[in-house]
Chains A and B, each alone.
Chain A
Amino acid sequence: MAEIVSPRVNSARLADHVGQHVRLTCKVLRLTGSAAIVEASDGGQVEVRVPIKSPIKDVYIEVVGQVVEPGVVKLLNCINLGDTLGKSYDNSNSYCDLKIVDMNIVDFVVEKWHSPQFSSMF
């Protein structure tokens, strides 16, 4: 029975999942009408093709999509993770208020996700 899976990836790992569904936590750099240019957790840029009514609202998002080709993902669903407008490190009361996602942590987890050591978990 095939499980519905969407491995977490960064820009480099897209090439391993062409045609498959993936989860890409990323930062939106630019928006055009039909696509968003995002920066993945490893710093690489990815083109995310979006439908007309783009669900992208925040700067940090998680894209659930299908890999068209290395470097290009077709967006199927978008989870908005919060915006960067608003609190900075100086003004926020706690780290929790900060709507910035630490991409170093994300990339660390992405790399561990694909490690053979944890293949029974992912």
Chain B
Amino acid sequence: MSQFSQNPYYDKAGGGGGGFMDGSPLGGSNGTPGSSTRRGGSASVRPVTIKQVLSATQTHSEADWVIDDAEIGSVTVIGQVISIQKQATNIVYSLDDGTGRLEARHWVDPSAMEEDEEDPITEDSYIRVMGTIKSFGNKRYINTSQQRLVKDHHELYFHLLDAMATKLILERGPPHAPRQQPGSSPIKAEGASAYSAQSTAVTNDQFSHLPQMQQAIIRFILSHPQTDDGVNVGAIARAVGGSANEISAALDSLLDGGHIYTTLDESHYAVSQ
């Protein structure tokens, strides 16, 4: 998550939407490499524009929705309320964010007492909704789990920038850590390949935040057929170079970080997958 700690938008108290990015559109990017978790997953919330929702695709009616080649769990949208229709079991907000119009349906329990909201949603106000994309016939809408008034107008601009940044991260992978040397970890051009479940090639995104020596060790181990025996430390040392102390320290860091583990004995290592 290092890329988010440097992003000033997430430090801002008024945003509210920033918290949803944790572990979200990147799915498993918080350090769980290689596993089959590149599906959007129901926990992920992706900031999008209405145009993106309207152009989302679905391979069949039970499949996950896909936006920009990434699977979607749920989405968050900010839009101006054009109209509000209150019915017995649901409230329908018609939203316009300048890129299109979309209905957001919020199902209410008819027996629950309607409390007076502290910030009632009115026409022409901007609201943030979070929910899942649904389609009924040709009509697309969002089933919202929650919606709330946008009180600081900057949240709208934060959201648009959030959506743009998310799109770029999904396309290109997370940004480099600043200390990274340019030659040592070329980011793959298509973000999709970094996340494909079948990929056993080195996915540089996962390791690009590590120091050069540690990256080299991991890449060397991965370049060998993955057996239960792991790779001998002597082979690692010969391939990677550097002093015994440097290698030993790097191996310890990788062990502590959970990136590698010992197999036959303390001289054999494998990469955690």
A contact residues vs B (CB 8 Å cutoff): 3-8, 23, 60, 64, 77, 79, 81-82, 94-96, 101-102, 105-106, 108-109, 112-113, 118, 120-122
Contacts and interface: CB of A to CB of B under 8 A. Distances in A.
B49 A3 contact: no
Nearest to B54: A3
Closest 10 CB pairs of A and B: A96-B14, A3-B100, A96-B152, A6-B98, A81-B153, A109-B157, A121-B49, A4-B101, A105-B157, A23-B98
9 contacts: A3-B99, A79-B126, A96-B14, A96-B152, A101-B154, A112-B160, A118-B167, A121-B48, A121-B49
B51 A122 contact: yes
Contacts, number: 69
Given A94-B13, A95-B12, A113-B160, A5 B100 contact: yes
A29 to B, nearest CB: 19
Contact of A109 (B48, B68, B96, B161): B161
A28 to B, nearest CB: 15
Contact of A102 (B52, B54, B154, B164): B154
Interface string B155-173: 0010011011001000000
A73 to B, nearest CB: 15
Contacts of B54: 3
Interface centre among B13, B14, B98, B126 (most CB of A within 10 A): B98
Interface centre among A6, A106, A121 (most CB of B within 10 A): A121
Contact of B49 (A101, A106, A122): A122
Nearest to A112: B164
Contact of B52 (A81, A96, A121): A121
A37 B154 CA distance: 23
Contact of A6 (B12, B96, B157): B96
A120 B68 contact: yes
A106 B51 contact: no
B55 interface: yes
Interface string B101-143: 1000000000000000000000011100000000000000000
A52 B49 CA distance: 34
Nearest to A25: B153
B51 A4 contact: no
A82 B153 contact: yes
A96 B51 contact: no
B22 to A, nearest CB: 21
Contacts of A94: 13-14
A7 B161 CA distance: 15
A5 B98 CA distance: 5
Interface in B240-269: none
B214 interface: no
B148 interface: no
B151 interface: yes
A92 B28 CA distance: 40
Nearest to A95: B14
B80 interface: yes
Contact of A3 (B48, B101, B161): B101
